[in-house]
Amino acid sequence: MKEETKTAIVLAGVAISFAGLAVVFFTLSAIDERPAPRIVMVDSGFLDTSPVRMNYAAMVEAGEDIFDYDCYLCHSRREPVELQFDELGGLILEEHDYITFEHGPSRENNYCFNCHDRDQLDRLRTQYGTTLTFEESTQLCGSCHGTTLRDWKQDAHGRTGGYWNLAMGERTRLDCTECHDPHDTRFPTLEPAPGPHSMKNRIIVSPENNRDP
């Protein structure tokens, strides 16, 4: 065979194989319709915008059972409640023992009648003697926590929702007891939503191994 023919054949072969590769590439890119893997999204519970707890007013509105708030199912209107204390001054609870008293930094605001009215058990009573219903509890909280009430009235304390522009729509604002349990006032701990997955493979610098030598 002539050298010329040989070279021509080789070159033609190379060209054809490249052309073939291009065809394969095109076909593959056209039929690349594999089902994509499922997209994992966060649990929709983490997107819930409802308050962390239900207070009396919300329970009434939702038609929940408010049996617990009907004081005179057990108590008598004629017999006033007498509190009992142990020798250290701690309150002895017989019936309401499910209540955790964690109100105030010293946790000593555990005297029932600081907030509840002694004579009308289904009413609240401020330190100034005003009687309030359970729905009006925010006023009661504000009678001690004045600066917080002031902030709340300005929407600077507490959770809001809806419209920042009151000309365009309504703003929702929560009562104190929709976030704080009045007997155990610290905001509850919550389960955190998942962290950033895209950063999973990074080196995590923990405070422990980042100390100065």
List contacts with other proteins (CB under 8 A): 2-4, 7-8, 11-12, 14-15, 18-19, 21-22, 25-26, 29-30, 36-37, 39-42, 46-49, 51-52, 147, 151, 154-165, 167-169, 174, 179, 187, 189-200, 202, 204-207, 210
Toward other proteins, which CB reaches closer, 96 or 171? 171
Compute the half-sphere exposure of residue 106: CA atoms within 13 Å on the CB side of its CA. Answer: 4
Q: Exposed/middle/buried for 60, CB within 10 Å: 0-12, 13-18, 19+?
A: middle
Q: What are 173's strand-pairing partners? A: 160
Q: In angstroms, what is the minimal distance from the CB of 55 to other proteins?
A: 15
Toward other proteins, which CB reaches closer, 29 or 106? 29
Q: In angstroms, what is the minimal distance from the CB of 9 to other proteins?
A: 10
Q: In angstroms, what is the minimal distance from the CB of 54 to other proteins?
A: 14
Q: Are 115 and 123 in contact (CB under 8 A)?
A: no
Q: Are 211 and 129 in contact (CB under 8 A)?
A: no
Toward other proteins, which CB reaches closer, 10 or 81? 10
Toward other proteins, which CB reaches closer, 75 or 173? 173
Q: In angstroms, what is the minimal distance from the CB of 7 to other proteins?
A: 6
Toward other proteins, which CB reaches closer, 130 or 148? 148
Q: Exposed/middle/buried for 175, CB within 10 Å: 0-12, 13-18, 19+?
A: buried
* Helix, strand or coil, per DSSP, at residue 137: helix
Distance CA 37, CA 173 (A): 41
